[in-house]
Amino acid sequence: MKVKFKIWRQKAGAPTGAFEIYDVDVAEEMSFLEAIDVINEKIIREHEKHPEGPIAFDHDCREGICGMCSMVIDGVPHGPRQGTTTCQLHMREFTRRGFRDGDTITVEPFRAKAFPVLRDLVVDRRSFDVIQQAGGFVSVGTGAAPDANAIPIGKADADLAFDYAACIGCGACVAACPNASAMLFVSAKVAHLALLPQGQVERSERVLRMVSTMDEQGFGGCTNHGECEAVCPKEISTDSIVMLNRELMRASIQSR
């Protein structure tokens, strides 16, 4: 399939950038990141035509686990396929949706004040690390893996905690939100520990510190647009935000 890729290029340290168009032939069986690899190989071969050099983009596992592939594809974080990361997206998904030879796919980085662009499609998401570190660690001695069965946990709570723990911190929720809110990320991190007995000791302190740090990092507030849930590759529900608000209210009352 013949594809025009309209890709955001921005030099390291530059305040802004611009889109560049690349014409390439790719196979439908390729993953989206493999298609970007093909473009980079072409740029390297034709380096005289492309003094800007290869496209910089984040990737690691390419298995939908690490959450590094922070791209907005045709206006949607991680692309058109629901419940997948960019690295799990394949070019055949575009043909399924009516893509024709010569059509254009637009690729740009996540856009948020708290996610400054480092270069091209790479954004700095250390603000997520700062929020998570503000939550601290679980001080309860949980033991080795076999010891997990020693603490009885209701199946409903265990299943829900597991669902929230599936958050990979990719930042798609922030990129999709009109307010650039990190509430889905923070709520997933708070909720999964609040549901487990091992997370009870720091329960109140954790939510107060994480929400305060989220605000300090420059994320916006939640106004219930629901865009975060729609693009989350792990399909985490906004019910976690309801739980976060409840936890925050509880902790605020206790702190008084």
- When pLDDT is averaged across residues 116-142 and rounded to a whole number, the result is 93
Stretch 146-164: mean pLDDT: 87
CA dihedral angle for residue 85, residue 90, residue 92, residue 94, rounded to 10 degrees: 50
For domain 125-255, the CATH superfamily is: Alpha-helical ferredoxin (1.10.1060.10)
Write the burial class of residue 97 (CB in 10 Å: 0-12 exposed, 13-18 middle, 19+ buried).
exposed
In angstroms, the CA 41 to CA 10 distance is 19
What is the per-residue DSSP string for 155-206?
HHHHHHHHHHHT-----HHHHHSTT-B-HHHHHHHHHHHHTSGGGSTTHHHH
Q: How confident is the model at residue 194 (pLDDT cuts 50, 70, 90)?
A: very high
Average pLDDT score over residue span 97-107: 95
Q: Comparing C-alpha atoms, which of 28, 33, 85, 88 is closest to residue 57?
A: 33
Residue 167: partners with Cβ closer than 8 Å, 6 or more residues away: 184, 185, 188, 189, 192, 232, 234, 236
CATH number of this structure's domain 2-119, picked from the four choices 3.50.50.60, 3.10.20.30, 3.40.640.10, 3.40.50.720: 3.10.20.30
DSSP code, position 2: E
Summarize pLDDT for 201-256 with one digit per residue, the tens: 999 999 999 999 999 999 999 999 999 999 999 999 999 999 999 999 999 999 88
- Provide the pLDDT confidence category of residue 181 given band limits of 50, 70 and 90: very high
Phi-psi sector, 140: left (phi>0), alpha (psi -120 to 50), beta: beta
Question: What's the confidence (pLDDT) of residue 142?
Answer: 73
Q: 148: pLDDT confidence band, cut at 50, 70 and 90? A: low
The residue whose two tokens read 């935000």 is 241
Q: Where are the domains of the chain?
A: 2-119, 125-255
- Identify the sign of the CA torsion 124, 126, 131, 137: positive
Band of pLDDT at residue 144, cut at 50, 70 and 90: confident
Instruction: Identify whether the C-beta of residue 118 lies closer than 8 Å to the C-beta of residue 135.
Output: no
pLDDT in tens, 55-98: 999 999 999 999 999 899 999 999 999 999 999 999 999 999 99
- Per CATH, 2-119 and 125-255 having the same topology is answered no
Task: Convert the pLDDT of each residue in 41-55 to its tens digit.
Answer: 999 999 999 999 999
Burial 180-191 (b: 16+ CB within 10 A, else e): bbbbbbbbbbbb
For the chain, the first-to-last Cα distance in angstroms comes to 63
Three-state SS for 69-100 is CCEEECCEECCCCCCCCHHHCECHHHHHCCCC
